[in-house]
Amino acid sequence: MLQFPEQFWWGGATSGPQSEGRFQKTHRNLFDYWYEQEPELFYDYVGPDTASDVYHQFEADLALLASLGHNSYRTSIQWTRLIDDFEMALVNPDGLAYYNKLINACLAHGIRPIMNLHHFDLPIALYKKYGGWESKEVVDLFVAFAKVCFEHFGDRVKDWFVHNEPMIVVEGSYLMQFHYPAIVDGKKAVQVAYNLALATAKVIRAYRQGRAASNNGRIGTILNLTPAYPASHSAADLTAAHFAELWNNELFMDAAVHGKFPEELVAVLKKDGVLWQATSEELAIIANNTVDYLGINFYHPKRVKAPNVIPVISPSWSPEWYYDTYLMPGRRMNVDKGWEIYPEAVYDIAIKMRDQYGNIPWFLSENGVGISREDRYRDERGQIQDDYRIQFLKEHLTYLHKGIQEGSNCFGYHVWTPIDCWSWLNAYKNRYGLVENNIHTQIRRVKKSGYWLKKVIEANGF
């Protein structure tokens, strides 16, 4: 029997834009806008309009999750729902009422509400006016939005997170073209990374200066870690893996926990002429406002090798000048999503948190497996028999447990996601839920994994 620590957070994560639906929302975020412009990019032309209708069904959803044993629930407050006027941080009354009801419903069901403030959902208006996260003005407008959240909800929400996966924003929007504006511009990517780290520190500072902090609240940020493993032990592959680790993981980790950026990375960015614009005042804010704790999302490792070629002329800086993806023969794959399955990495993350990051408290804030056409796995009563998901969760929890046994300060585990939700460009292609959502009827049905996890939660282990 693997036993988890007392008071362990068990539950799941979603986000506002992926679960609520656009009901009563006056403003559009990047994805709302992108879908209006180019719906053909979205799987089966399904956009975020209805998502999983959580805007209407949160009461019943939270009751269901409570009945499945969940003691915590992470979602995000949408900037485009809560705020009417971004410059003045004026509140939208309907948005305010909605988030109040949602938070109160969590508490009524004994579920700890964990609130994130940015989940890929920058207002399009702020991209058009300022260039979005490219601009430090947007950083300050985001701080103003965060303050509104703390003022209105800080009496009941004790767990705050600033961003979800800032590196995905950098990659998706500025390097790999899977988030709007889907451009390739390494210099902007580097500035955006810095601005997102600066926003983290500025929001943390605002939280600690405000009234909500005196309410025993804590604040952190959520980072996706993709541990980099070299293809071989050759010096060139090790160097490649080291750079991949610096860029993908340590840039945001070091800023959030140590209050500074990795020096080696800064030196490379400087040498390549793409280092961010920063002031000494901003760097002091980053140094003085580090996180209380962290959420770590883990899905897949990153296998890398020394680059095959080094471009002499390139239109844009890229971190991939320093490493190539290594397609390791015999790797275990979730072919529906195209991600390797390597649960051992959870242990490596736990040990890195312990040894490299001062054993800061953290929770595994997203972990899960997206499978397409789950209809294939219905039994005669119609329930999805997702044994592959149970297996996936079990394996990852086993390595998490091992890390905790060895002293890593992990206090929770969240599945992505409690109820099937909308997945950006993939829309509803791959399903991650413990609970099925029929997107035509919006009727929920618990999958086998939902009941499996319930037993794990009841026993606080398995």
DSSP designation for 412: E
Per-residue mark of binding to ligand BGP, 344-373 (x: CB under 6 A): ----------------------x---x---
To the nearest whole angstrom, how small is the minimum distance from the Cβ of residue 370 to ligand BGP? 4
Alpha helix stretches (DSSP H) within 332-386: 344-356
Per-residue mark of binding to ligand BGP, 371-400 (x: CB under 6 A): ------------------------------
Do you find a cis peptide bond into 93, omega within 30 degrees of 0? no
Q: How far apart, in Å, are the Cα atoms of 395 and each of 1, 346, 401, 462?
A: 14, 10, 10, 11
Q: Taking CB positions, which residue lies at the least distance from ligand BGP?
A: 423
The answer to whether residue 15 forms part of the interface with ligand BGP (CB under 6 A) is yes
Question: Which residue, 92 or 164, has its beta carbon nearer to ligand BGP?
Answer: 164
Q: How far apart, in Å, are the Cα atoms of 192 and each of 132, 172, 195, 252, 279?
A: 9, 12, 5, 12, 15
Question: Which residue, 50 or 460, has its beta carbon nearer to ligand BGP?
Answer: 50
Q: Which 3-state string (H, E, C) describes 148-165?
A: HHHHHHCCCCCEEEEEEC
The answer to whether residue 302 forms part of the interface with ligand BGP (CB under 6 A) is no
The answer to whether residue 426 forms part of the interface with ligand BGP (CB under 6 A) is yes
The answer to whether residue 340 forms part of the interface with ligand BGP (CB under 6 A) is no
To the nearest whole angstrom, how small is the minimum distance from the Cβ of residue 53 to ligand BGP? 17
User: What region does 327 belong to: left with phi over 0, alpha with psi -120 to 50, or beta?
Assistant: beta
264 assigned to active site: no
Question: Which residue, 43 or 321, has its beta carbon nearer to ligand BGP?
Answer: 43
Burial (Cβ within 10 Å: 0-12, 13-18, ≥19) of residue 447: buried
Please pick, from the candidates 75, 92, 290, 430, the single residue that binds ligand BGP as defined by CB under 6 A. 430
What is the number of alpha carbons within 13 Å of residue 120 lying toward its C-beta? 28
The single residue of 165, 245, 340, 374 carrying the catalytic annotation is: 165
Question: Which residue, 171 or 324, has its beta carbon nearer to ligand BGP?
Answer: 171
Of 75-83, 131-139, 164-172, 281-289: span binding ligand BGP (CB under 6 A): 164-172
DSSP designation for 83: E
For the beta carbon of residue 257, count every other beta carbon within 10 angstroms: 22
Question: Which residue, 262 or 370, has its beta carbon nearer to ligand BGP?
Answer: 370
Question: Which residue, 362 or 416, has its beta carbon nearer to ligand BGP?
Answer: 416
What's the token pair of residue 394? 């079990």
To the nearest whole angstrom, how small is the minimum distance from the Cβ of residue 422 to ligand BGP? 8
165 assigned to active site: yes
User: What region does 53 belong to: left with phi over 0, alpha with psi -120 to 50, or beta?
Assistant: left
Sorted by sequence, the CB contacts under 8 Å of residue 210 that are 6+ apart come out as 147, 150, 151, 154
Per-residue mark of binding to ligand BGP, 221-260 (x: CB under 6 A): ---x------------------------------------
To the nearest whole angstrom, how small is the minimum distance from the Cβ of residue 164 to ligand BGP? 5
Contact 51, 20 (CB under 8 A): yes
- Give, in degrees to the nearest 5, the angle at Cα 408 between 205 and 290: 10
Of 56-64, 226-234, 349-357, 424-432: span binding ligand BGP (CB under 6 A): 424-432
Of 46-54, 377-385, 420-428, 451-459: span binding ligand BGP (CB under 6 A): 420-428
Instruction: Provide Rg for the chain, Cα atoms.
Output: 21
Q: Which residues of 78-97 are buried (b: 16+ CB within 10 A; e: fewer)?
A: bbbbbbbebeebebbeebbe
The answer to whether residue 160 forms part of the interface with ligand BGP (CB under 6 A) is no
Please pick, from the candidates 305, 337, 389, 447, the single residue that binds ligand BGP as defined by CB under 6 A. 337
The single residue of 245, 250, 340, 366 carrying the catalytic annotation is: 366
Please pick, from the candidates 79, 424, 452, 462, the single residue that binds ligand BGP as defined by CB under 6 A. 424
To the nearest whole angstrom, how small is the minimum distance from the Cβ of residue 416 to ligand BGP? 5
Compute how many residues bind ligand BGP; rule: CB under 6 A.
Answer: 15
For the beta carbon of residue 308, count every other beta carbon within 10 angstroms: 6
Give catalytic residue positions: 165, 366
Contacts with ligand BGP, residue ranges (CB under 6 A): 15, 18, 164-165, 168, 224, 297, 337, 366, 370, 416, 423-424, 426, 430
